[in-house]
Chains A and B, each alone.
Chain A
Amino acid sequence: MFAAAAAAAVPVLAACGSSGGGSGRTATLNWYMFPDGSGSFATAAANCSKASNGAYTIKINVLPNDADTQRQQMVRRLAAKDSSLDILGLDVTWEAEFSEAGWILPFTGARRTAVENGTLPAAIKAAVWRNQLVAAPLNTNTQLLWYRKDLVPEPPTTWSQMVADATRLAKEGKPHYIEVQGAEYEGYTVLFNTLVASAGGSILNASSTSAQLGEPAVKAIQAIQQLAQSPAADPSWSNQHEDDNRLAFESGNAAFELNYPFIYPSALQNNPSLAKKIGWTQYPSLVAGQPSHVTIGGNDLAVSAYSKHPNQAFDAITCLRGSANQTTYAIKGGLPPTLTALYTDPALIKGGYPFAGAIYTALQNGVARPQTPAYQSVSLQISYNLSPPTSVSVGKLNTLKSRINDALNSKGLVP
């Protein structure tokens, strides 16, 4: 109890003297981060520690592999007011939840301005909750339409065109599947969010207090049905995650794929001859003449409310998301940067991001996921009630609406 009281008092005291870094003691900052096979986080942590001139040392604590267990581990510690967490690596869907629960500190004043300067507006928007910037964007992510240049000389611009092109290829006996996420999980929620936004609507109302859906949601459902009833749908669509889509595309049975850029380096490695035929363009739109609005993903860094060294943690985050480090994460780890300037940087484009321009355009039109502390429950309700995509119908929207409203009020069981 004493430890909890002490930990709660520290941020208040620290906030008074933001320049009080010269105490001469090196703070150890625990950075809870998802695993990164490339080792670029470890390099960045070492470089930043060295550059701090003894103000702090960053120690990486590797979280489990999948997002759900990463979140569970941090939530359990934060709910118990664990002061051994300083910097948290958050998925963009957790900011509202962590902030509402009082687990992370906002970036205020000059710190907020510094983070916002030169950062993609869409990435900032995902890190804002109740008008406060509660985390700093580290990397972003979004989907493009990847297609086979040898099969589709002119890529489609609308969803209907894409399905029509694939149907034509099917009739000609050529590879024709459209690879898109359809299993009962968060990736399917992302598809629904993209389709609803591209039809001009949103899942929640502006204040995130109730479900909006409406006519755009009907259009989104119709788009899913259109694909499900065409020969373009992969037979295992209702069981596919991003990686299943990648594998199916690499095996050569598909003509289109709606997925994140990680599929490109993977194809280069696993099927170089196919990789040469891969083209990329914007996600197909639902309203002709209007751009699509694709869901933005990515990760942010935040400071734990129970950290004993919040000032050093804020400084460390500034360093960890610096331009040089973001370039490393992008080239070595495949994580698209959040700094606008990097998208025109020749070093990045030549280093394995030939599609940087397309991603940048997609991010400009991008849309956030439903922003609410109850996102996990809302997402579970969407993927549960609209699964499987092969039997989805407009009639399910009423049930979905009341389930989402339940989830927003933490009523009802989540599936």
Chain B
Amino acid sequence: MTTAAPPVEPASPAGRHKKGETAPLSEGARAERRLGLMLCAPAVIVMAAVTLYPVGYAIYLSLERYDLRFPNASKFVGFANYGTVLSSPIWWQAFLVTFIITIASVAVEFVLGMALAFVMHRAIVGRGLVRTFILIPYGIVTVVAAYGWKYAWTPDTGYLANLLPSGNAPLTHHVSGLAVIILAEIWKTTPFMALLLLAGMALVPEELLRAARVDGATAWQRFTKIMLPLMKPAILVALLFRTLDAFRVFDNIYVLTSGANNTRSVSILGYDNLFTALNLGVGSAVSILLFITVAILAFLFIKIFGAAAPGQEVD
């Protein structure tokens, strides 16, 4: 998709010269391309229907005063809803909380995930068993796991809360509540990170590592100078996926604290404004701002990792 497609129509000689190296397509190649486009079309149409339309509708709603409770007062308000959101301390609080959760959970997951990937990669006995065990948390439904954590950290019902001095209810305070949310996120998605990193690790040629060893490279040098650079595409994918996921965190918070004590993420804020306050205009503005933030994050990742990004030509 990302390789630029030359125009299908036979280009004029002048145009062809401007394009430089692009050679004119043969009759057969053109027919093949047409077939390819036709084969893609149904999927593209379905994708457009289920993603483009809702995204477009959300953008439209975010420019309206649209509140289900006051259907007669609906009108176009331009960017007023965005002004409301961006000037509200509640939004910035939620943004900060989301940022903290993202940075903390992705950083810890990366380190732990790398360690687990090593374990899975190097396991000599019971490799299948080891991999299965490591993947169990990822296989549990997030909401189910979140309820497990919730009860565990609630005094009287939970074994973890009972380890704390009595009278401590970690889910009812800002800092400890956030810590529990981050812990639940890490527990849940480290296996996913490990799996993606394992895929990258499998691509590192064993001979290269042995050769470096013969040349006297230490284990740390072999890791930083050989493995990490070769794993760069896998690391990018793993960090990108997890950062975008973590930034949209919803279910763990919804179950654990439902956003009380300033633990609400941007997604929870959007949900509250859309489904509890029924204010589709302001709620959609929150959603669109979340969408833009995620797009910027993805863009930055690709920029920072440059050529290692998937789909980029590596010369």
Contact = CB atoms under 8 A, between A and B. Distances in A.
Interface residues of B, number: 29
A223 B255 CA distance: 34
B242 interface: no
B70 A412 contact: no
A376 B282 CA distance: 15
Nearest to A71: B276
A178 to B, nearest CB: 19
Given A101-B71, A377-B277, A412 B169 contact: no
Contact of A239 (B71, B172, B264, B281): B172
B84 interface: yes
A100 B70 contact: yes
Given A72-B276, A376-B276, A376-B277, A413 B282 contact: yes
Contacts of A415: 90, 264, 272
B69 A414 contact: no
B67 A413 contact: no
Given A410-B65, A413-B282, A415-B90, A184 B276 contact: no
Nearest to B271: A72
Interface in B74-104: 84-85, 88, 90-91
B273 interface: yes
A413 B276 contact: no
B273 A184 contact: no
Given A410-B279, A414-B272, A97 B69 contact: yes
Contacts of B277: 376-377, 380, 410, 414
Contacts of B169: 236, 239
A300 to B, nearest CB: 17
A101 B269 contact: no
Given A184-B260, A413-B90, A102 B71 contact: yes
- Taking residues whose C-beta sits less than 8 angstroms from the other chain, chain A's interface range is 20 to 34
B68 A101 contact: yes
Nearest to B269: A413
Interface in A166-192: 184
B85 A413 contact: yes
A410 B276 contact: no
B256 to A, nearest CB: 15
Contacts of B70: 100-101, 373, 410
Nearest to B171: A239
A100 B278 CA distance: 13
B69 to A, nearest CB: 4
Interface of A: 68, 72, 75-76, 79, 97, 100-102, 184, 235-236, 239, 373-374, 376-377, 380, 410-415
Interface of B: 65, 67-71, 73, 84-85, 88, 90-91, 167, 169, 172, 260-261, 264, 269, 272-273, 275-279, 281-282, 286
Given A236-B169, A374-B69, A413-B269, 12 more contacts: A72-B275, A97-B278, A376-B277, A380-B277, A410-B65, A410-B70, A410-B73, A410-B282, A411-B84, A411-B282, A415-B90, A415-B272
Closest CB pairs A-B (n = 9): A410-B67, A373-B69, A414-B277, A413-B88, A413-B90, A377-B277, A239-B172, A97-B69, A415-B90
